[in-house]
Copies of this chain bind each other. A is one copy, B any other.
Amino acid sequence: MNGDFTLFTPTKVVFGHDVETRAGEFVKAFGGTKVLIHYGGQSAVRSGLLARVEDSLKKENIPYVTLGGVVPNPRLEKVYEGVALCKANGVDFLLAVGGGSVIDSAKAIAYALAEPEHDVKELYEHTRAPKACYPLGVVLTLSASGSEMSDSSVISYEDKKRGVNSDLCRPKFALMDPALTKTLPAYQTAAGCADIMMHTMERYFVNGNRMELTDAIAEGLLKTVMHNALVLRDDPENYAARAEIMWAGSLSHNGLTGCGNDAGDWACHRLEHELGALYDVTHGAGLTAVWPAWARYVMKNCLHRFVRFAVNVMGVAPGATDEETAEKGIDALTAFFRSIGMPTNLKELGVSPTEDDFKLLAKNCAIAVGGKIGSAMPLYEKDMEAIYRAAKE
């Protein structure tokens, strides 16, 4: 509760037009001699992106192998497949060409390669902490996860979705060409914007110490994302708006928007992880589906922050009471999510949990967080179940 913090953002950011054609140059600069190009679906192939990245490696005479097929909520099986491929080919540098799923999968492979005597799954089970990680670089194609600068990797296996955080996996470089995101479906663009906002909001809705400077950055970032999400809804090819969202995505989750607060809340992310594991929903959409219910449930326990959010971020006129102001802020953000086509409850998300599902979701979430989670309000299993139920429709 004293405002101390550590920030480590070593990733070299190279941002702008056609930067993906410089991948080889940066792999070389950071010492890669044999590369795995890791990617997701066929769009990277069809668009010619993969060919441009491969050409840049050829230009530097850096040999590589490729592995596609990473899916949203990336699977541990694909990680193992990548590890085997890398070992067989002597890969010493991972190049993720994609969004959060691809980057997180590459991080998992990089962890596995650095400690080959262990099963990388243990990191996600939190039975072991990582001690080393192979170097990786990123060509970013989706603004959302912030994984291109973050210390986070989230992997799904069995019916679980689990994350591990360590500075070891922060990418060496991130090549960020906003133009690469122009062809995304509108739903993915909007879900990405929601995810970006939530990375800052998880750090914003906290009790305990806050820094003015961090609040100012967080509020500026949230307003920038909301403005440009609306621009992109109406004009998906707007490069400048794509650039604002892409850069906001990195800054939202590299640690900057949490400096001097006390660790963040993270309840919505953990509540969503269980939805993602059980129903394989889009992460950003899962977040907006639980946020309104979460906000109403915890609001009174962190009222000053909800009031500040309502006025400084959502621009609402203060109500007669702090609670009224806070509620107006929650209403305003809920309306914003709806305006960009994001769900604001589970029904809109397309998910209808059974009675047993509600219990299972809460139970799994409580296990995953070690009993409780949250700074705005500490949540236990019964709270989680109540929030899932309140988010029903």
Q: Are A216 and B223 in contact (CB under 8 A)?
A: yes
Find chain B residues with CB under 8 A from A387 CB.
Answer: none
With an 8 A cutoff between CB atoms, is A9 at the interface?
A: yes
**Docked CA distance A235–B14 (Å):** 42
Partner of A213, one of B5, B6, B251: B251
Q: Are A2 and B15 in contact (CB under 8 A)?
A: no
Greatest chain B CB density within 10 A among A13, A219, A220, A240 is at A220
| Stretch in A242-250, A325-333, A373-381 touching the partner | A242-250
Greatest chain B CB density within 10 A among A2, A14, A213, A216 is at A213
Partner of A243, one of B3, B13, B17, B244: B3
With an 8 A cutoff between CB atoms, is A58 at the interface?
A: no
Give the contact-size bracket for chain A.
35 or more
Residue of B nearest to A2 (CB): B17
10-37 of chain A: CB within 8 A of chain B: 10, 12-17, 19
With an 8 A cutoff between CB atoms, is A227 at the interface?
A: yes
**Docked CA distance A324–B97 (Å):** 50
Q: Are A216 and B212 in contact (CB under 8 A)?
A: no
With an 8 A cutoff between CB atoms, is A221 at the interface?
A: yes
Find chain B residues with CB under 8 A from A227 CB.
Answer: 212
Q: Are B260 and A243 in contact (CB under 8 A)?
A: yes
Q: Are A8 and B3 in contact (CB under 8 A)?
A: no
With an 8 A cutoff between CB atoms, is A147 at the interface?
A: no
Q: Are A213 and B224 in contact (CB under 8 A)?
A: yes
Q: Are B221 and A247 in contact (CB under 8 A)?
A: no
With an 8 A cutoff between CB atoms, is A228 at the interface?
A: yes
Find chain B residues with CB under 8 A from A243 CB.
Answer: 3, 211, 260
The distance from the CB of A230 to the nearest CB of chain B, in whole angstroms, is 13
Q: Are B15 and A5 in contact (CB under 8 A)?
A: yes
Q: Are A4 and B8 in contact (CB under 8 A)?
A: no
